[in-house]
Amino acid sequence: MSDANPIVEFMKLFRLWNGLIAVLGLLLGAAVSTGLTKFGSQPEELILGAMVVLLFVGAGNSLNDYFDLETDRIAHPNRPLPKGTIQRRSALISSAAMFVGCVLLSLFINWLSFMIVILAILIMVVYELKMKSRGLMGNVLIALLVSALFEFSGSVVGFPENTLVLATLSGLATLGREIVKDIEDMKGDMSRMTLPKMIGARKAGYVALVPTFMAVGLSPIPYLMEQLTHYYLLTVMIADALFVYGALIQFQNPTRGQKIFKGAMIVALIAFALGVRP
């Protein structure tokens, strides 16, 4: 390792900021699941859940960088492994240690949380080992990981049934965005056989429409089921409009479409936050 601060370099490897964003997702899912009145009534479980999420994100990013070292020498030369500030073997060991930590901590929450963590780890490992370069299946696994985060949030507070819709909507929206991202990266992505490379950008764009429009069509369900208030419905309509626009504009400009998708997902999360019942 070089003279760089090892703590700073490992934080870069773990993508700490991404982990903190995921923790916010956990808290949002928990609030949706319990309502504001009961939110925070299980502080130990929420703290354990937040620790699991932070460890999982760090482990996943370390594993990703372990496998993507050669690609990152060109695409992300300032990451710790390409720079040589962290050894490749250290990244793998830290990933394994954090995955073990996730499993052990989840045992202190409940059995469903434990099973979700085990499933998420299996998905992550299969994705990195086999499916990252396998087109649509790789996109589906990433979407499942996003869904797992929100279902985990419900399980942590004991109401997993209340986050099923949130998990489904987030997974569908993520799947659409992942396909559009692959269309955007089509020319520069030399190491992966993505869906756009297999069937062409335009056909892949039509595939992206399916999960996106499904998410838009299903988005009123939390309001209709009285899980969320009318503030959710009013705000999610803005997100839906952005999703539709992004899904259509990506045929002409994938980069713009992908950015609009990202904005739509942020608005959708705000909608869920605003719609939490008392």
pLDDT tens, position by position, 155-171 = 999 999 999 999 999 99
Amino acid 135: pLDDT: 80
Whether pTM > 0.85 for this model: the answer is yes
Kindly tell me if the per-residue pLDDT of 210 is higher than 50.
yes
Kindly tell me if the per-residue pLDDT of 1 is higher than 60.
no
Q: What is the count of structural domains for the chain?
A: 2
Q: Which of 68-82, 98-112, 140-154 is least confident?
A: 68-82
Please give the residue range of the domain that contains residue 199: 160-278
Amino acid 126: pLDDT: 94
Return the exposure string of 80-96: e unless at least 16 CB atoms fall within 10 Å of the residue's CB, then b.
bbbbebbeeebbeebbe
Same domain, 102 and 167: no
Kindly tell me if the per-residue pLDDT of 188 is higher than 70.
no
pLDDT tens, position by position, 101-123 = 999 999 999 999 999 999 999 99
Q: CATH number of the domain that 207 lies in?
A: 1.20.120
Structure tokens at 4: 């760089």
Three-state secondary structure call for residue 36? coil
**Of the residues 158, 192, 224, the one at which a domain ends:** 158
Same domain, 13 and 32: yes
Question: Is the CB of residue 217 less than 8 Å from the CB of residue 179?
Answer: no
pLDDT range class, residue 190, cuts 50, 70, 90: low
Same domain, 147 and 88: yes
